[in-house]
Amino acid sequence: MSEENMEEVKVLEAQLERLKVEVVVLQQQQQQYHKEITLHFRGQMKDALAYVCGKAQAGEEEMVLSRLKEEVETMEEDLKLQAQMNGVTLKSCITKTLQKSGSKLVQHLILSGHCSELVFQLEFKLSEVMEGRRSERMISDLNVVLDSCDLQNFSSFLSRVEESRDLLLLIRTLRTFSDRCDDRTRTFRHFQGKFPSVVSLPRGCKSEVMSLSHPQLPSCVLLVHWSVQVSTEGAVTPNINLLTKIPERALQLFPSQSVGGAAEAFQSLLRILGPEAAIESIIRAVSLSLDT
């Protein structure tokens, strides 16, 4: 046999050994899945399966259906209560068992849901170790994906959460962030409805910018920029600023001090009156309102 053929034989033998290992792993996984399915279909689920297959004893059908209905209703009520308490609605949960021994269980979970209109997905490993009658759970390999236009405000916070694996802090911050964004949306909609000829939302009511302009001076614009900042520690803070967009020729018609001091005056109003009253005061103070 030539050296070339011997090398080819060695390669095939190595591939065969790898296939044997894969077969053993797949057999072990099959056995594990069989155990999990067996455990899952005990108790009420086993009774329900027997009923569906027509193997239930006479008179047990109504009892089985009644128990299952009560169990589903209880789970729905618990889920509804949790959603009301933390503002988070879960849409799906995918679980895969990675390891299961006498005292240790490791699962890979993918949770998806939304908090108000902020869509998120969580992916992590959950390890549970039994020590006597006590069990200890630990989260690892946490990965958070958010679908939001304000992701730049979340980058440092998400990095910290993924490192600390603090799901409670994440959920609490998402709830607070969503509430502050909802406050901004309601305020923008309110002013657009109250002053339709003055207020416009160039990027929609969910964006960070509201534009104020007089119909007879379309090139002179005041912009209310309302962002929601999230610190590394999870503190959520609204940040509202007034910006001016006035042509150079128009600036020559106004005292520079009054125009340049508009942003500082607006900040003073914010501290005293709050966002809605401060914005409305700005509209009225510069005589932009034609709808009142």
Q: Look up residue 207 and give its DSSP letter.
A: S
Give me the percent of the chain exceeding a pLDDT of 70.
Answer: 67
* Per-residue pLDDT, 292: 46
Assign 136 to helix, strand or coil.
strand
Read off the pLDDT of each residue in 68-76 and give the average, rounded to a whole number. 68
Q: Compare 8 and 204 and report the one with higher pLDDT.
A: 204
Task: Report which of 206, 209, 210, 208 is spatially closest to residue 186, judged by C-alpha positions.
Answer: 206
CB 177 within 8 Å of CB 169: no
- 164-199 burial: b if 16+ Cβ within 10 Å, else e: eebeeebbbbbbbbbebbeebbebbeebeeebeebb
Angle at 55 between CA 34 and CA 35, to 5 degrees: 10
Q: Are 83 and 99 in contact (CB under 8 A)?
A: no
Separation of alpha carbons 292 and 195, rounded Å: 8
Most confident among 118-132, 204-218, 240-254 (mean pLDDT): 118-132
**Considering only 121-125, 156-160, 202-206, 212-216, which range has the smallest mean pLDDT?**
212-216
Nearest Cα to 40, choosing from 48, 29, 30, 28?
A: 48
Distance CA 161, CA 153 (A): 14
Residue 266 has pLDDT above 70, yes or no: yes
**pTM of the shown model:** 0.65
In angstroms and rounded to an integer, the radius of gyration of the C-alpha atoms of the chain is: 31
